[in-house]
Amino acid sequence: MAAPAPGGEAFPYDDAGWAAFHAREESRLAAVDAAARGRARDSQQDYWDKRREHAARWLERTPDVAVPALPSGFPAHNPIDHFLAHKIVDYRAQARAVPVDGVDFWREIHPILEARCLECHQGGKAKGGLHLDSRGSALAGGEVEGPAIVAGKPEESPLMRRILSSDEDERMPPLGGRLAASEIELVRRWIAEGAVWPEFRPLPTDLTPPADDLAFLRRVTLDTVGVVPTVAEIEAFQADASADKREHLIDRLLADPRSADHGMGAWQDMLAENPNILNPTLNNSGPFRWWIYESLLDGKPLDLMVTELLRLGGSAKDGGPAGFAFASQNDVPLAAKATIVTTAFLGVETQCARCHDAPAHSARQEDVFAVAAMLATKGVKVPSTSSVSLEKLREGGRKPLIDVTLEPGVTVEPRWPFTMFAPESLADTLALDPSDSRDRLAALVTAPENERFAQVMANRIWARLMGRGIVALPWDWERSATSHPELLRWLGRELVRSGYDGRRIARLILTSHAYQRTNDPSLAQPSPLFTAPAARRLAAEQIVDSAFVAVGKEFRTEDACLDIDSIRDTDNSIDLGRPRRAWMLCSTSNERDRPSLSLPRIQAVCDVLGAFGWRASRPDPLTERESAPSALQPAILGNGTMGLWLTRLSDDHAVTRLAIDAATPEQFVEQLFLRVLTRRPRADERARYVSLLAPGFAARRTPPAAARPAATPRRPPYYVSWSNHLDADATVVRQAEEAAARQGDPPTALLADDWRRRAEDALWSLLNRPEFLFTP
């Protein structure tokens, strides 16, 4: 029997036929959706034409940033390399001025400042107006005592007096105990020697050469589409003999729809996308991930995307960014969103300003609530739960380190607080509807006059690709050093010039010589001179997605849904679909601890993701995840359930096919290395793996006739859903599912058992190498 489909094509009415039909329908419907989104965007085309025109005029009337001439002896692919080279030359000149044998400021003094002083003495709210994050400001001093340091004269330096003082009100630092005697002596000597303070710590200034083809291919593929390259992609790239093959590769990858998948993690973190499949609780937002994904897929300009977000249109559950407005069980959801907006798009950290004026930043609580009111389109009341009682603080005795200038119970009206970035009046002409405060907020955030926005977005892209921002903390510019201010402004203008196309900035960075250099294996992070990249630990999603792609096993989990027969209201239960990439997973929401509500396969993958820094629940925004190594990571990857699925040679595993078809053990080993590590084995590696796999290689295949595949009875499996999960049977069924997930798929009968185990060991050992987890 055949099932006729629209267009007349017939599909056989069997499993394979259904799969083919399903795939075709999915891509057809995706195209229908994309076309509909396109038409919706077209309906706003007049407004956006006006915005582009406005941006073009702004670019014309504001001075361009001059690209410096390339110093001799430096390679360059584009202006980025010019800016970087210029700075390196400048730094070399500074380095020649540092005295030999004196106190090493960066090695000995800066760690003290960073650990004990900079918390309070930097940024917009530096205590006493004293900034200790640069020599100039330390010498200029603060409001209370004038210069903190008198070069050459420690006895006249107030900083010295304070760290020696035994008077509790005078002593610095005020918390955590006095500095150690050895530290005090170091500071004294350093001041006596003239308080030499170079802009950067000693840095190598030699550039590393360009990375070889395969290292470059792996790195750029991971950095654009979030997975390692396939063998076909490797062969195609190596076969390409054109001079600009790298640029072509970059263009192909940036246009690849998988780049939208790769972009998701950063956006979900930045916007605290936090849906729950069972009852919105604990700061859950709606599932606006789909809107993020479509925006990335459609290549929306960043100003348009952020404008859509802030207008909060669409449905909270069914599409569009309205789900961003929600934070369940939060006392003032829109104040939480205001913090997200300022950190994500303006580099202004307002986390502390939620309940009181930020102690070390210029942001005040009133600013956060003013933005919240703009999002609310009306006044927002400050509840007592979002405030701190000053009486309680004063109980401690010492003057509180925070200010509370906003009384609880006060209503804050909509107001744009960031007039240093753009004047509020700009919204009168630029906003889609100037009487709507959300439109005004969107216009003021994304206007080209707001250079901060373009630079923040460009810096975020730079930080992800280069391993270090031009502005060190992409979400908190007040507390960050900026290594290349001119380059930053140039990139900001390029972003505006491109129509806010983030891919243009990505392309500039990826095509630069600086991005393509060989890693310096001695670096944990690139230096602020960007002379050489450092190996970067992959994000959790990259690790998981790459592992499945590399070994060729289908990413297969349950539906991300606890109500698969849909008896509950969508206000309480939503379906996040069948995940095909890590970003589509979510918290398994089993606060009730019921085995019948577990999702074992999703949990197995979440265990790996969580160990590598992914968050199942994202109640607050984040830019930089934890990336420190912990023994839990190799444990869960190497011994855990997901690792078992990846390394068990089952019938549906690509390496099983490879093993069966390989002509020689050498060929098999080479294929494994290419798939997993994007390189060929070295001679010693080849020898070791071939000696493992050569014995029994010739006889490894079981004749298909003799191989008895496991018979699976055709019977609809029981399903467990919210509707029946309280039945005793539901627990039994689910526990069987848990056990099945832990056991993995049975090994193939087509390979001799002993040889198969050795092949699995070989695969496991490659997948679990540290090399797999870092950019080459």
> Which residues within the stretch 377-396 sit at the binding site for another protein (CB under 8 A)?
385, 396
Q: Whose Cβ is closer to another protein: residue 190's or residue 530's? A: 530
Spell out, one character per residue from 101 to 120, where the chain touches another protein: x when CB under 8 A holds, - when not: ------------------x-
Q: Which residues pair with 2 in a beta bridge?
A: 12
3-state DSSP call for residue 754? helix
CB 511 within 8 A of CB 246: yes
| Helical H segments across 552-697, by residue range | 600-611, 632-639, 641-647, 654-661, 665-677, 683-693
Count of residues in contact with another protein, rule CB under 8 A? 100
Residue 206 binding another protein, by CB under 8 A = no
Q: Whose Cβ is closer to another protein: residue 90's or residue 119's? A: 119
Q: Hey, how many other C-beta atoms are within 10 angstroms of the C-beta on 181?
A: 8
Q: Whose Cβ is closer to another protein: residue 294's or residue 760's? A: 760
Please name the residue that has the structure tokens 């509840």.
383
Of residues 499-538, those binding another protein (CB under 8 A): 521-524, 534-535, 537
Residue 633 binding another protein, by CB under 8 A = yes
CB of 728 to another protein, least distance (A): 4
210: exposed, middle or buried (Cβ count in 10 Å: 0-12, 13-18, 19+): middle
Helix then strand then coil, % of the chain, to nearest 5:
50, 5, 45
CB of 488 to another protein, least distance (A): 25
Of residues 643-672, those binding another protein (CB under 8 A): 643-644, 648
CB of 600 to another protein, least distance (A): 9
Distance in angstroms (rounded) separating the CA atoms of residues 69 and 514: 16
Distance in angstroms (rounded) separating the CA atoms of residues 111 and 587: 38
Distance in angstroms (rounded) separating the CA atoms of residues 630 and 773: 13
Distance in angstroms (rounded) separating the CA atoms of residues 44 and 242: 41
Q: Whose Cβ is closer to another protein: residue 447's or residue 609's? A: 609
Of residues 684-703, those binding another protein (CB under 8 A): 685, 688-689, 692
Closest Cα to residue 348, out of 366, 333, 361, 360? 361
Among 3, 240, 727, 740, contact with another protein (rule: CB under 8 A)? 727
Residue 557 binding another protein, by CB under 8 A = no
Residue 774 binding another protein, by CB under 8 A = yes
Distance in angstroms (rounded) separating the CA atoms of residues 532 and 527: 8
Of residues 392-421, those binding another protein (CB under 8 A): 396
Residue 743 binding another protein, by CB under 8 A = yes
Q: Whose Cβ is closer to another protein: residue 321's or residue 613's? A: 613
Of residues 561-590, those binding another protein (CB under 8 A): 587-590
3-state DSSP call for residue 122? coil
Distance in angstroms (rounded) separating the CA atoms of residues 643 and 633: 12
Residue 620 binding another protein, by CB under 8 A = yes
**DSSP designation for 573:** B
Residue 765 binding another protein, by CB under 8 A = yes
CB of 359 to another protein, least distance (A): 8
Among 149, 160, 327, 551, contact with another protein (rule: CB under 8 A)? 327
What are the angstrom distances between the C-alpha of 746 and each of 395, 650, 662?
66, 6, 22
Closest Cα to residue 445, out of 300, 304, 298? 304
Residue 731 binding another protein, by CB under 8 A = yes
Stretch that binds another protein, among 8-16, 153-161, 218-226, 759-767 (CB under 8 A): 759-767
Stretch that binds another protein, among 61-69, 83-91, 309-317, 630-638 (CB under 8 A): 630-638
Q: Whose Cβ is closer to another protein: residue 97's or residue 524's? A: 524
Q: Whose Cβ is closer to another protein: residue 502's or residue 776's? A: 776
Of residues 239-298, those binding another protein (CB under 8 A): 272, 276, 279, 281-283
Residue 331 binding another protein, by CB under 8 A = yes
3-state DSSP call for residue 771? helix
CB of 686 to another protein, least distance (A): 12
Of residues 586-615, those binding another protein (CB under 8 A): 587-596, 598, 603, 607, 610-611, 613
Residue 179 binding another protein, by CB under 8 A = no
Q: Whose Cβ is closer to another protein: residue 260's or residue 611's? A: 611
**DSSP designation for 466:** H
Residue 374 binding another protein, by CB under 8 A = no
Distance in angstroms (rounded) separating the CA atoms of residues 341 and 16: 47
CB of 264 to another protein, least distance (A): 20
CB 374 within 8 A of CB 412: no
Spell out, one character per residue from 334 to 373, where the chain touches another protein: x when CB under 8 A holds, - when not: -xx--x-----------xx-xx---xx-------------
Residue 543 binding another protein, by CB under 8 A = no
CB 127 within 8 A of CB 121: yes
Please name the residue that has the structure tokens 């069987």.
736
Q: Whose Cβ is closer to another protein: residue 492's or residue 643's? A: 643
3-state DSSP call for residue 763? helix
**SS3 labels along 683-739:** HHHHHHHHHHHCCCCCCCECCCCCCCCCCCCCCCCCCCCHHHCCCHHHHHHHHHHHH
Distance in angstroms (rounded) separating the CA atoms of residues 436 and 434: 5
Residue 44 binding another protein, by CB under 8 A = no
